[in-house]
Chain A
Amino acid sequence: QVQLQESGPGLVKPSETLSLTCTVSGYSINNGYYWGWIRQPPGKGLEWIGSIYHSGNTYYNPSLKSRVTISVDTSKNQFSLMLSSVTAADTAVYYCARIVGATLARVDFWGRGALVTVSS
């Protein structure tokens, strides 16, 4: 069974960089699929952040593209999210996920989510 687990600081100061890592178990990232990040501000809907293939090919949400970097470390079976210059609007639960198809045909496995609060 594929399992994903987010890890990283739960509190980030405004203007700093949010950094999260997703550790995948039960499946090798090298075997395919896209791997992505999706976030959900408290009480609000889902927002797609971006995705990455094991080869390093990435897609990013245009509204976040200037601040987002997603990378993959196949040796550790992990992928990571960096979001720079954060503000309170970036406070959200961040989910890592496995994505079938480059064009978001479906998100079939999700992590449990990590709450990141942006506050001084």
Chain B
Amino acid sequence: QSVLTQPPSVSAAPGQKVTISCSGSSSNIGNNYVSWYQQLPGTAPKLLIYENNKRPSGIPDRFSGSKSGTSATLGITGLQTGDEADYYCGTWDTSLSGVFGTGTKVTVV
């Protein structure tokens, strides 16, 4: 069971904005970088955001990340049908283990 909590699902119309929260504790998010991953159906996860708010080369600026205290947020603006996927946050925990969020399914309605 994950120690990072995300909403099971979020949805919005094309062109709109969605935000996905990732709630943890001082044992994980509070003292470590957060990364975000996009998993399209049937594929491996892909790195979207690292070190809380940085984008790897090739990731559009429609994707943004932030962190405050023991929570982190992923934002997606200008929502597209191709953004329909599962999204996961990830970080390190003081148990000396990596941890991932419960995952959020984004639906474009």
Contact = CB atoms under 8 A, between A and B. Distances in A.
A contact patch SS: strand
Contacts, number: 74
Interface in B9-34: 32-33
Interface size grouping (class) on chain B:
20 to 34
B37 A107 contact: yes
B92 interface: yes
Nearest to B33: A105
A112 B91 CA distance: 21
A15 B50 CA distance: 38
B103 A46 contact: yes
A51 B98 contact: yes
Interface string B98-109: 111111000000
B99 to A, nearest CB: 6
A111 B44 CA distance: 7
Interface residues of A, number: 26
A110 B98 contact: no
B35 A107 contact: yes
Interface in A49-91: 50-51, 59-62
B100 A112 contact: no
Nearest to A62: B95
Interface string A93-113: 001000111011111101111
3 closest A-B pairs by CB: A48-B98, A106-B50, A103-B92
11 contacts: A47-B2, A48-B98, A62-B96, A95-B44, A99-B98, A100-B50, A103-B32, A104-B92, A105-B92, A107-B90, A110-B46
Interface of B: 2, 32-33, 35, 37, 43-47, 50-51, 56, 88, 90-92, 95-103
Interface of A: 36, 38, 45-48, 50-51, 59-62, 95, 99-101, 103-108, 110-113
